[in-house]
Structure 1
Amino acid sequence: MLQIALREFDGLLRKVFPKIFSSSLVQHEMVGNYSHLLTVPGSEPDLEPYMLLAHIDVVPADEADGWDAPPFSAQELNGFIYGRGTIDNKQSVMGILQALEYLLEQGYTPRRSFYIGLGHDEEVNGLHGAANIVKLLKSRGVKLQYVLDEGLAVLDGVISGLDGPAALIGISEKGQATVKLSVSSAPGHSSMPPRESSIGILASAVKRVLERKPDTNAFVRTTTAVTMFNSGVKINVIPSYAVAFVNFRIHSAQTLQEVLELVKSTVSDERVKVELVNGFDPLPVSSYDENTFGYQIIKKTVQSMFPQLTVAPGICVGNTDSRHYKDITQDIYRFAPSWFKPGDPQRFHGVNERISIQNYEEIVLFYFQLIQNNDIRKLPPPHSSQHEL
């Protein structure tokens, strides 16, 4: 079923963006069967290329969960487009391609080469889409000035203490660890319970781990979530085995190893076995000073569209396809100008995911301007006027 949907979407892209797929300028390749790699060569090949990323896959959705419109209908209601993927991440997929389609219609040829990578399995770690696109680019010796992917957005009233809306550009993303905690003990009958059961021992250990979790937001620290807790096979049998899985999203100030050591010292019980199921370190922090080409191009594009916005670096709390690109670029940024107001973050992977028609138009315009702004050879001196872009 998934493969059929991906094939149908491929057909839709070719139909909706005829200039892209018929242009002699744009080289299109399918990677990993369903992902797309577009190469747009520039007229000045000595300029280091950049890359725009988005992903075409989405998480499941069920109309029975209470959607105001069928989740795969793209129905318009009260100025909004409803549908799974409208903010994760079809808005960027279609925004990037629509911007390029408009530019090609105008006879545009970039000075700086760029790539577009559309992965098909980001929601399940991107191991067949993004990873294979990177493998192909590495085989060709490609090095990128910067990469721009999904991640952070324009937050308006979402972060307490922040006056007015702000565009946060992700300069890193959290690492991740799934840790298994387990306890084995002698089984028994519930009529003669021991002082401590496997469930009690494990529950105490998990409680100690969770007590370290502050109750403030995920942008500034490592977060902890118990995602599974299993034990028992019969109502009157004290189980011999109990297991829990804890998921950590690791802040850039910590490493995977530090989190593991912290868990072990916090549990501090030899009866509890602590095992790493999988995980990886946070991504390196990308440059964001006044002389950093990619960050400043993104920032100035946002400021030219939304002069009222504060633009600042931030940490992306989720994981994106861009983490696969760290070997071919030093600077990875995670941002699209999607507007999130109070209540909107809950729509992400949730019910009634939607985007306003106006915001989608803004996203298209953002990529339309960004592509052209990348054509300068180098940044203007700091504090000079923005019109030089």
Structure 2
Amino acid sequence: MTENPAVTAFREYLRIRTDQPNPDYNAAVEFLKEQATSRLGLPVEIYGTSENPIVVIKWAGSEPNLAALMLNSHMDVVPVFQDKWSHDPFAAEKTEDGKIYARGSQDMKSQGMQYIEAVLKLKKEGFTPLRNVLITFVPDEENGGHEGMKKFVETDEFKALNVGFAIDESCASPLDLYVVFFDERSNWAVEVSCPGATGHGSAHMKNTAGEKARVVLDEFFDFRKTEGAKLDGKPIPEIELAKITTVNLTIVQGGIQPNVLPDEIKITFDIRVSIDEDHERFYEWIQSVMKKAGEGVEAKFIRREGKGIPTKIDESNKFWVALESSIHKMGADVIAIACPGNTDGRFLRWVSIFA
């Protein structure tokens, strides 16, 4: 049985190793350039750097002076643990029932290819958009996006594209329901250093690093428990997740051998700050924990992003109205939620672009 060309192209894209921390962007860029020129017949520009390239395919509108529509996706995917997979994560194997197994099949190479197929379908139907449509593929999203979209929106090249509205990633839904993100939590990460008295493990010393680290852990985990309780009884907790602040211990460092007290313990937390949280109040709470833990305890912020700027999801936003009405015309419903994680959409919102 002949495979649909859209599926064939999608599987080819999946086989390109763009997994972090060493994504093969060059191969991805060449693939996307071929898609633009051979399949779409559209011009393509490459921005950014060779290490972090940005692909922009442009479909010119009949009124190009209007604000453009950006259809954005990221090329990179998260790392894999090969032994945890039932299929080779980069073979894009398709089973008899049509399922495709591959890293990035949902997050988010599928959406990038859907953009291409949608434009191809419309072009075959003879449709010409009113405004420019930009299909963009960016790097580094799985590392936080700081070397990709964050830098791109600050360039003159991006500003010249005149983007007014962007569709970025969301999550897969098995129902006739589209989930769209209009806001997201702020990405914080903090490394807490707990210095202490050192000596032989048989001693009973005061002000040890372990004692100080315990205070920090107790305070952070008590806070974590309180926040988690806010989800109790919610019918779909995932929808409410962006309304709480999550605190998760990710790294613990310290000590040189079993019978020596460490002179310092470092503990790192991944923190996603609720869309409803007062950032200054939360920052002051963290500082109060440092003071409570004891002398010399400090919090070093690895990341401390500002509060998000939500996209308006009402009649004042003509782009939202168009998106919502289009989904309804397809016989589906739409639910707008704040993303519990982070996407490149936040960088677009920071420069006042609806996303």
- Residue matched to 1:174: 185
- Write the distance in 1 (CA, Å) between the matches of 2:128 and 2:151: 27
- Matching of residue 305 in structure 1 with residue 330 in structure 2: yes
- Matching of residue 101 in structure 1 with residue 138 in structure 2: no
- Residue matched to 2:64: 45
Matches within 5 A, 1:65-104: 65=84, 67-77=85-95, 78-104=97-123
- Write the distance in 2 (CA, Å) between the matches of 1:140 and 1:16: 25
Q: Please state whether the residue corresponding to 2:183 is helix, strand or coil.
A: strand
In structure 2, relative to structure 1, the CA distance for the partners of 1:194 and 1:4 (3 Å cut) is: closer
Most deviating of 70-79 and 9-18:
9-18
Cα deviation code 1:10-53 (max 9, x no counterpart): 333344554456x3xx3310112332012222102353222111
Contact 1:170 1:314 in 2 (8 A): yes
Amino acid at match of 2:187: Q
* TM-score, with structure 2 as normaliser: 0.81
Cα deviation code 1:136-186 (max 9, x no counterpart): 456654443311100345376xxxxxxxx7533211111111112122122
Quick one: which of 265, 271, 292 aligns to 2:288?
265
- Residue matched to 1:368: none
- Highest relative contact order (Cα 8 Å, sep 6+), 1 or 2? 1
- Matching of residue 314 in structure 1 with residue 325 in structure 2: no
- Write the distance in 1 (CA, Å) between the matches of 2:215 and 2:174: 38
Quick one: which of 251, 255, 263 aligns to 1:240?
263
- Write the distance in 1 (CA, Å) between the matches of 2:216 and 2:148: 38
Cα deviation code 1:263-311 (max 9, x no counterpart): 223453342222322210232011001342222222222223343x3x2
Aligned CA-pair RMSD: 2.5
- Residue matched to 2:220: 209
- Residue matched to 2:198: 187
Contact 1:177 1:249 in 2 (8 A): yes
In structure 2, relative to structure 1, the CA distance for the partners of 1:276 and 1:8 (3 Å cut) is: closer
- Structure 1 gaps of 5+ residues are 157-164, 333-389
In structure 2, relative to structure 1, the CA distance for the partners of 1:275 and 1:155 (3 Å cut) is: farther
Amino acid at match of 1:171: F
- Residue matched to 1:363: none
Contact 2:310 2:349 in 1 (8 A): no
In structure 2, relative to structure 1, the CA distance for the partners of 1:4 and 1:155 (3 Å cut) is: closer
Amino acid at match of 2:67: E
Cα deviation code 1:33-88 (max 9, x no counterpart): 332012222102353222111011111223212x1211011111233111000111
- Residue matched to 1:282: 307
* TM-score, with structure 1 as normaliser: 0.74
In structure 2, relative to structure 1, the CA distance for the partners of 1:81 and 1:137 (3 Å cut) is: farther
- Write the distance in 2 (CA, Å) between the matches of 1:324 and 1:103: 29
In structure 2, relative to structure 1, the CA distance for the partners of 1:277 and 1:18 (3 Å cut) is: closer
What is the CA-CA distance between 1:327 and the residue it aligns to? 5.1
- Residue matched to 1:348: none
Q: Please state whether the residue corresponding to 2:80 is helix, strand or coil.
A: coil
Identical pairs, percent: 22
- Residue matched to 2:354: 331
Cα deviation code 1:300-346 (max 9, x no counterpart): 22223343x3x2221111211222223543422xxxxxxxxxxxxxx
**How many residues align structurally?**
318
Most deviating of 313-322 and 125-134:
125-134
- Residue matched to 2:29: 10
- Residue matched to 1:199: 210
Q: Please state whether the residue corresponding to 2:218 is helix, strand or coil.
A: helix
Contact 2:309 2:350 in 1 (8 A): no
Amino acid at match of 1:186: A
- Residue matched to 2:46: 30
- Write the distance in 2 (CA, Å) between the matches of 1:188 and 1:136: 54
